[in-house]
Amino acid sequence: MRISRLLFAVVISGLFATPFAALADDPIVIKFSHVVANDTPKGLAAEFFAKRAAELTKGKVKVEVYGNSTLYKDKEELEALQLGAVQMLAPSLAKFGPLGVKEFEVFDLPYIFDNYADLHKVTQGPIGKSLLKKLEPKGVTGLAFWDNGFKSFSANTPILMPEDLKGKKMRIQSSKVLEAQMRALKAIPQVMAFSEVYQALQTGVVDGTENPISNLFTQKFFEVQKHLALTEHGYLGYAVIVNKKFWDGLPADVRGQLEAAMKDTTEHANKIAKEQNDKDLEGVKKSGKTAIHVPTPEQRRAFKKALIPVHEEMASRIGKDLLQSVYKETGFDPSKL
């Protein structure tokens, strides 16, 4: 949807909107837009939040979830949030660069988190809190981090070694770190909205992609990708964000109840994310359409060797202090392969 349509929607809704609960029994509506399928870690978490918010506010808040890019695609949803056409989103951390918050791209650095436990030291600790604070000047309030999982490469030809991606057109999310990552593999990065990836893979506009298995499976990318290498070379997760003006304007008790609902949801979301990805890997296996390769220790080392230089290359974009504080929190050492 173009900005003019968005603006029109916002103006019209402004003309007819009544202030919060102007009619005593009208619920406050939160439109929550996202781009993935409903049976993904994010889709399920959004539904869980809707239910928990209704329970804790005793029906004062109604969360309407619009999944699968039915309302907006990647870039548009951020614009829509800032304009107030929707109130809540959970974009991938790789999609905050265009908003001017480059620090979030620290999460895109290859191999920076060995596992969910290391990741949570950052997302659920003081670094995570200070990252969310950086959104405020953009008119956005950050509420939580939700997990998806670790990304793997897919293509129509086998991916055993880094050289296998050389010259391949690889779809990426809108992150400069991911662009540098693909260039480090001598691949050709192509930024593209999530909703367009299936068709782009099918028609050969791009040759391959990277995603957690839950996205690959629920978007049926496995139908159009003959090979999947379980490289788990990077992380993909979400920041749950709201329009700041909307959030600050909520009655304080309602805001508190929604914060409690978000806390419960985050625990739930981060519990189910790995389970969903594991389950969906079984789904890909069962489809019989995609050959799944588990890298050997040498192959894993070769990918690490090719990709770890991206940390240094991107350090000044992300912020050297931030990078060091993440290393310190997780114990990551870029000199170790």
Phi then psi for 99, rounded to 5 degrees? -80, -10
In whole angstroms, the minimum distance from the beta carbon of 199 to ligand LMR comes to 14
Given 152, 154, 181, 215, the residue binding ligand LMR (CB under 6 A): 215
In whole angstroms, the minimum distance from the beta carbon of 92 to ligand LMR comes to 3
Tokens in use for 335?
């000199």
DSSP characters for 199-247? HHHHHTSSSBEEE-HHHHHHTTGGGG-SEEEEEEEEEEEEEEEEEHHHH
Residue 193 gets the label, from left (phi > 0), alpha (psi -120 to 50) or beta, of beta
Given 111, 113, 153, 194, the residue binding ligand LMR (CB under 6 A): 194
**Spatial distance between the Cα atoms of 317 and 151, rounded to a whole number of angstroms:** 22
User: Nearer to ligand LMR by C-beta: 57 or 154?
Assistant: 154
**Spatial distance between the Cα atoms of 260 and 105, rounded to a whole number of angstroms:** 28
In the stretch 81-120, what mask flags binding to ligand LMR with x, by CB under 6 A? -----------x----------------------------
Q: Interface with ligand LMR includes 218 (CB under 6 A)?
A: no
Please work out, in degrees rounded to the nearest 5, the angle formed at the alpha carbon of residue 314 by the alpha carbons of 312 and 320. Answer: 70
In the stretch 298-327, what mask flags binding to ligand LMR with x, by CB under 6 A? ------------------------------
In whole angstroms, the minimum distance from the beta carbon of 211 to ligand LMR comes to 5
Among residue numbers 1 through 30, which ones bind ligand LMR (CB under 6 A)?
Answer: none
In whole angstroms, the minimum distance from the beta carbon of 256 to ligand LMR comes to 28
**Spatial distance between the Cα atoms of 235 and 115, rounded to a whole number of angstroms:** 9
**Spatial distance between the Cα atoms of 165 and 156, rounded to a whole number of angstroms:** 11
Which residue number places its CB atom closest to ligand LMR? 92
User: Nearer to ligand LMR by C-beta: 57 or 215?
Assistant: 215
Given 33, 141, 148, 154, the residue binding ligand LMR (CB under 6 A): 148
In the stretch 35-74, what mask flags binding to ligand LMR with x, by CB under 6 A? xx-----x--------------------------------
63 contacts 53 by C-beta, under 8 angstroms: yes
Token pair 């957690």 is found at 212
Q: Interface with ligand LMR includes 32 (CB under 6 A)?
A: no
User: Nearer to ligand LMR by C-beta: 189 or 299?
Assistant: 189
User: Nearer to ligand LMR by C-beta: 128 or 212?
Assistant: 212
Q: Interface with ligand LMR includes 173 (CB under 6 A)?
A: yes
Q: Interface with ligand LMR includes 153 (CB under 6 A)?
A: no
How many residues sit in the footprint of ligand LMR (CB under 6 A)? 10
Helix axes 116-123, 252-287, angle to 10 degrees: 160
Q: Interface with ligand LMR includes 211 (CB under 6 A)?
A: yes
User: Nearer to ligand LMR by C-beta: 148 or 290?
Assistant: 148
User: Nearer to ligand LMR by C-beta: 61 or 187?
Assistant: 187
Q: How many residues does the chain have?
A: 337
Give the number of other Cβ atoms within 10 Å of residue 68's Cβ.
17
Phi then psi for 62, rounded to 5 degrees? -115, 115
Please work out, in degrees rounded to the nearest 5, the angle formed at the alpha carbon of residue 118 by the alpha carbons of 112 and 119. Answer: 70
110 contacts 233 by C-beta, under 8 angstroms: yes
Q: Which residues bind ligand LMR (CB under 6 A)?
A: 35-36, 42, 92, 148, 173, 194, 211, 215, 236
